[in-house]
Amino acid sequence: MESDAQLLNAVAIVLRKLREERNFSQEYLAAEADLSRSMIDKIERRKRLPSLPVLIKIAGAFGMSASELVKRIEIDLNK
């Protein structure tokens, strides 16, 4: 099953890293991405996996493309 746990982990780590690099609060990021803070929080705590539209929104909030964001997740997955 290639373990969703690993994926949850990678997404959480990448998201938090990007957010902290930019000194974004969860609330600010949520507003920029047009998401609830609850969602950001849950992704970072590995309680939820973002859907494709959410990935795109988050990538947009970070000023990058969704494929770039996914690439970072894949890189983290292979560690």
Partner DNA sequence: TTGTAGACTAATGTCGACG
Partner DNA sequence: CCGTCGACATTAGTCTACA
| 50 contacts its own copies (rule: CB under 8 A) | yes
Position among 21, 23, 51, 79 found at the interface with its own copies (CB under 8 A):
51
Q: Kindly state the tokens that stand for 54.
A: 């959410």
Given a contact cutoff of 8 angstroms between Cβ atoms, the answer to whether 35 and 41 are in contact is no
Q: Of residues 18-47, which lie at the interface with its own copies (CB under 8 A)?
A: 34
Identify what 37 binds: its own copies, DNA, none; CB under 5 to 8 Å per kind.
Answer: DNA
Quickly tell me which residue has 């990058």 as its tokens.
Answer: 64
Give the one entry of DNA, its own copies, none that residue 35 binds, where binding means its C-beta sits below a cut-off of 5 to 8 angstroms depending on kind.
Answer: DNA
Alpha carbons within 13 angstroms on the beta-carbon side of residue 2 total 5
